[in-house]
Amino acid sequence: MSVKVMIPTPLRAYAGKRDSAEFSAATVGEALSGLTSQFQELRKHLYTEDGKLRAFVNVYLNDEDIRYLAKENTPTKDGDTISIIPSIAGGSFAR
Amino acid sequence: MSEVLEVAISRELAEKIREHGVETYPYECCGAMLGRDLALSENAASGKKSHSIPREVLSLFPLVNRRDDSPRNRFSVTADDVRDAEKTARAQGLEVIGWYHSHPDHPARPSDYDRDHAWPWYSYVIVSVATGVPQDMTSWRLKDDRSGFLEEKIAPIEVSARN
């Protein structure tokens, strides 16, 4: 089954400037794994060194935040779209 | 990533970023910068190379700082805000090319916290606001290996040649 992954603008430079890619995957995690296998430079921007999705990386399965589903184990079906949406944070020095 | 690290911002838009920082002082302000990136748009295969500005900010999308627990030294933009900014950019034929925020009573240099939360490729503009008065404005891009930021030049562009 084919799942489409939408690649956010700041990561397109690491994905041959593509805005999406399709993978055969049964779960969200498998699709993201397909993405980071094909475009390995993406991995460190999506995952921490111990393999967890970074806090400011939001993953949606057809508009549903996977945090409220089964996270990376959320099952996918043919034709689903996975979107990676950044959240942005920062600030001055810690006090 | 492009070798030329430069972002063009008109004096008028740079002034608006400073004003936003003054308005929210002593809290941090934040917003999206909408514009064009030549390297990204070249892939659109239009074949047009009408100008050589590698990256330019053409519009701003000011946002509300969602961090109400520590707004003096932190800012946060939710995924919904990012989607709104992207939608607004697309409606103008632009992309979200970066983000601005203020550092109240701190230098316009990225903190470790900025680095830990940064995305690559985006331009991160920081304006320092000291006792309510805008100071330096700088722009930064995260290094590919996430080890730090590279400073990029802010090139002022004149909207009007007059005055």
Nearest to B43 among A17, A41, A91 (CB): A17
The token pair at B3 is 């070798």
- B79: DSSP letter: H
For A65-86, the pLDDT digits (tens) are: 999 999 999 999 999 999 999 9
Mapped onto helix, strand or coil, the DSSP state of residue A53 is strand
Report residue B4's pLDDT band, with 50, 70 and 90 as the boundaries.
low
Of residues A51 and B161, the one with the higher pLDDT is: A51
Report residue B67's pLDDT band, with 50, 70 and 90 as the boundaries.
confident
Give the per-residue pLDDT at A92.
82
Q: Are B74 and A86 in contact, with CB atoms under 8 Å apart? A: no
Of residues B156 and A70, the one with the higher pLDDT is: A70
Global pTM?
A: 0.91
For the ranges A84-93, B46-55, B85-94, the one whose mean pLDDT is highest = B85-94
Average pLDDT for A54-67:
96
Is the bond preceding residue B26 a cis peptide, omega within 30 degrees? yes
Give the per-residue pLDDT at B27.
94
Report residue A94's pLDDT band, with 50, 70 and 90 as the boundaries.
low
Give the per-residue pLDDT at A91.
84
Give the minimum alpha-carbon distance from A16 to chain B in angstroms, rounded to a whole number: 9
Give the per-residue pLDDT at A32.
98
Mutating which of B119, B142, B147, B149 best tests the A interface, going by the most A Cβ atoms within 10 A? B119
For B85-143, the pLDDT digits (tens) are: 999 999 999 999 999 999 999 999 999 999 999 999 999 999 999 999 999 999 999 99
Q: For A59-85, give one letter per residue: b (16+ CB within 10 A) or e.
A: bbbeeeebeeeeebebebeeebbbbbb
**What is the pLDDT of chain B when averaged over all its residues?**
89
CATH class of A2-86: alpha beta
The owner of tokens 């999506």 is: A46
Q: Which residues of A touch B113 (CB under 8 A)?
A: 89-91, 93-94
The tally of CA atoms less than 13 A away on the side-chain side of residue A37 is: 10
Give the per-residue pLDDT at B45.
46
pLDDT at residue B41 is higher than 80:
no
CB contact under 8 Å between A56 and B119, yes or no, is: yes
Q: How far is CA B147 from CA A94, B4, B57, B114, in A?
A: 18, 19, 26, 12
